Amino acid sequence: MSGPGSTIAAIATAVAAGVGSVAIVRISGPQAQAVGRRVFRPAGKRYQAWESHRVLYGHVVEPASGQVLDEVLLLYMQAPRSFTGEDVVELHCHGGLVCVQRVLEQVLANGAEAAAPGAFSQRAVLHGRLDLTQAEAVAQVISARSRRAAALALAGLNGGIYRRIERLRQQLLEQLAHLEAHLDFEDDLPPLNPETVKEKMQAVAEDLSRLVEDSRRGQRLQQGLRVAIIGCPNVGKSSLLNCLSGHDRAIVTDYPGTTRDIVETELILGDVPITLVDTAGIRHTSNPVEKLGIARSRQVFTQVDVIVLLFDVNMGWSETDQALANELPEEVPQLRVGNKVDLLDKSSNQSNNLSKFPLAISAMTGQGIEAFTQALLNCCGLTDLESLDTSLNRRQISVAQKAIESLICLDNTAKAELPWDFWTIDLRDAIQHLGGITGKDVSEDILDEIFSKFCIGK
C-alpha cells in the first residue's frame, strides 16, 4: 500500500470496451486538489473557484500542450467529508477504455500514485470513516449476485455486523474487568461465582456459534451454488437445464450421447444464484469424443455443491443408475430425481416407480419443478432466507471460529478448576479475535492482506 501521506488515483468504475456512458477516476490524498488543478480546465471564469461538494464542468487536458483529452465533470470533496476521509477529487469521464485511461495517465503523470487494490477503502478505515466490517461489506455489495445477497451485504454496510460483534466483545470485556478486579482486590470484593461466569461465557460462545452457522448459509447465498445434473444418456439432463434457465441453452435430441461436453448456465432460483452444470450422459461407449465428455463429467463430481442424479421414471431405477450413484462422493449432497413423469402410464405398474422416489418432474412440461427447486434449496439449508439478518464473510467466520475455540478452552479451564489467572488468558484471546473482526484489534499487515483482495479503485 502507498504511504498514508501519498496521493493515490485509480479508475473507480467497471470499464469495458464500448460499455457504459460514464467512468470515474478517483484521486485521494493531501495533493488531490493540486493534481486536479493541473489536469482540469474549467469552462469559463465563473468555475475557477473550487467549492467542496460542488460539481464543475470542463475538460481534462495535457498541461504542457493544452491538448484536450476528454470532456468531464469534476467533483471535489474536502476532508473529512469524503469516502476516504481525505481530500478527494473525482473526474467523471466518458465511458469505455480509451478516454478514461488517457485521463488516468495524466493524473498519474502529474503527482498521483497508482492506487493498490482496496487502497481507498483501507484509507476510509484508517481515517475512521468506516469500521473494518463496513469496508468488507462494500466488497460484498459489489459482488452480490442476487437481491437477497445484496440486502444481506447492505446490512453489514449499515453496521449490523459491527454492532453484533461489538456487543459480544463488550460482554467479554465486562467479565474480564470483573476477573482482573477480583485478582487485584480480592480482599475488598465479594467472591465471584465460577458457575455464573462460565454461564455468561457459554452464552457468548453459543451466540457466536449461531452467527457462524448463519454466516455459512450467507456465504452460500453470496457465492451461489454449483449444481451438476448427471445421469445416464437420454434421461433429460439437457431438457432440465433448458427448463430451469428458460431458454434452449443445451441441444436436446432423442439420440443418446448428444451432450459431449460440460454446459454451464447461471440463473436465480429462490433468490439464490445457481450455476447449473449439464454433463454428458455416462455410459460405456467406443466413441472417443463421447468418452472425453464422460471423463469430464466424472471430474465435475467433486467440484460442485449439489449433484442432481436424474433418471427416467418410465424405465425405473436401474442397476446402471445405482452403479452411477455408487460412484458419487459421499460428502457432496445429492438429489435423486425422476424425469419424464408426463410420459408415465399411470394405469400400469410404472406408477409404482414413484413410491421410492417421490421427487418426480417433467422437464418438458414443468410439472414438479417448483417442488424440485424447494428440495434443492433445502438440501443446502438455503430456505427461510428472510431470517438471515447478519452474515460474516470467510475471513470473519475464520476469526469468529478462533474466538469460539478460545471460549471452549476457557470452559475447559473452568472445569479443571484452575485459578482465575488462567481464565483471563483465554478470555483475552477471545476478545482479541473479536476485535480482529471489527478492526479494533488488527495490525496494518493484516489490513494490507484484507484489502489486497479488493478490486482496484475501491
Claim to verify: residue 372 and residue 398 sit in the same structural domain: no
Q: Confidence class of residue 251 from pLDDT cuts 50, 70 and 90?
A: very low
Grid cell, residue 115, equals 492506487
Claim to verify: residue 242 and residue 354 sit in the same structural domain: yes
Number of structural domains the chain divides into: 3
CA distances from 234 to 195, 251, 334, 354 (A): 64, 12, 20, 19
Grid cell, residue 14, equals 467497471
Claim to verify: residue 371 and residue 400 sit in the same structural domain: no
> β-strand 54-61 against 8-11: which pairing, if any?
unpaired
- Establish if 386 belongs to a structural domain: no
Judge whether residue 349 has pLDDT over 90. Answer: no
Claim to verify: residue 269 and residue 210 sit in the same structural domain: no
- Sequence-distant (≥ 6) Cβ neighbours of residue 415 within 8 angstroms: none
pLDDT recorded at residue 228: 87
**C-beta of residue 56 within 8 angstroms of C-beta of residue 74:** yes
- Sequence-distant (≥ 6) Cβ neighbours of residue 41 within 8 angstroms: 58, 59, 60, 61
pLDDT recorded at residue 44: 74
- Residue 275, burial from CB neighbour count under 10 angstroms (0-12, 13-18, 19+): middle
Calpha distance 319→330 (Å, rounded)? 19
Rounded percentage of the chain residues whose pLDDT exceeds 90: 36
pLDDT recorded at residue 348: 56
pLDDT recorded at residue 252: 42
Claim to verify: residue 341 and residue 417 sit in the same structural domain: no
Please give, one letter per residue, the 3-state secondary structure of the chain: CCCCCCCEEEECCCCECCECCEEEEEEECCCHHHHHHHHEEECCHHHCCCCCCEEEEEEEECCCCCCEEEEEEEEEECCCCCCCCCCEEEEEEECCCHHHHHHHHHHHHCCCEECCCCHHHHHHHHCCCCCHHHHHHHHHHHHCCCHHHHHHHHHHHCCHHHHHHHHHHHHHHHHHHHHHHHHHCCCCCCCCCHHHHHHHHHHHHHHHHHHHHHHHHHHHHHHCEEEEEEECCCCCHHHHHHHHHCCCCCCCCCCCCCCCCCEEEEEEECCEEEEEEECCCCCCCCCHHHHHHHHHHHHHHHHCCEEEEEEECCCCCCHHHHHHHHHCCCCCCEEEEEECHHHCCCCCHHHHHHHHCCCECCCCCCCCHHHHHHHHHHHCCCCCHHHCCCCCCHHHHHHHHHHHHHHHHHHHHHHCCCCHHHHHHHHHHHHHHHHHHHCCCCCHHHHHHHHCCCCCCC
Judge whether residue 342 has pLDDT over 50. Answer: yes
Tell me which residue range forms the domain holding 182: 141-220+391-438
> How many other CB atoms are found less than 10 A from the CB of residue 80?
12
> β-strand 40-42 against 54-61: which pairing, if any?
antiparallel
pLDDT recorded at residue 352: 56
Highest mean pLDDT (candidates 32-46, 67-81, 188-202): 67-81
C-alpha count within 13 angstroms, C-beta hemisphere, residue 175: 29
Calpha distance 29→327 (Å, rounded)? 58
Claim to verify: residue 70 and residue 100 sit in the same structural domain: yes
Claim to verify: residue 344 and residue 251 sit in the same structural domain: yes
Average pLDDT, the chain: 83
Claim to verify: residue 366 and residue 345 sit in the same structural domain: yes
Claim to verify: residue 234 and residue 173 sit in the same structural domain: no
Lowest mean pLDDT among 1-5, 93-97, 259-263: 259-263
Claim to verify: residue 184 and residue 211 sit in the same structural domain: yes
- Establish if 452 belongs to a structural domain: no
Calpha distance 119→125 (Å, rounded)? 10
- Sequence-distant (≥ 6) Cβ neighbours of residue 334 within 8 angstroms: 306, 307, 308, 309, 325, 328
- Establish if 443 belongs to a structural domain: no
pLDDT recorded at residue 285: 47
- Establish if 451 belongs to a structural domain: no
Give tens-digit pLDDT for 212-243: 998 988 888 888 888 888 888 888 888 888 88
CATH of residue 310's domain is 3.40.50.300
pLDDT recorded at residue 254: 46
Give tens-digit pLDDT for 281-338: 554 544 444 445 555 666 677 778 888 899 988 888 888 888 888 888 888 888 899 9
- Sequence-distant (≥ 6) Cβ neighbours of residue 294 within 8 angstroms: 280, 281, 282, 283, 285
CATH of residue 429's domain is 1.20.120.430
Claim to verify: residue 216 and residue 232 sit in the same structural domain: no
Judge whether residue 82 has pLDDT over 80. Answer: yes
CATH of residue 100's domain is 3.30.1360.120
Judge whether residue 191 has pLDDT over 50. Answer: yes
Phi, psi of 39 (to 5 degrees): -105, -10
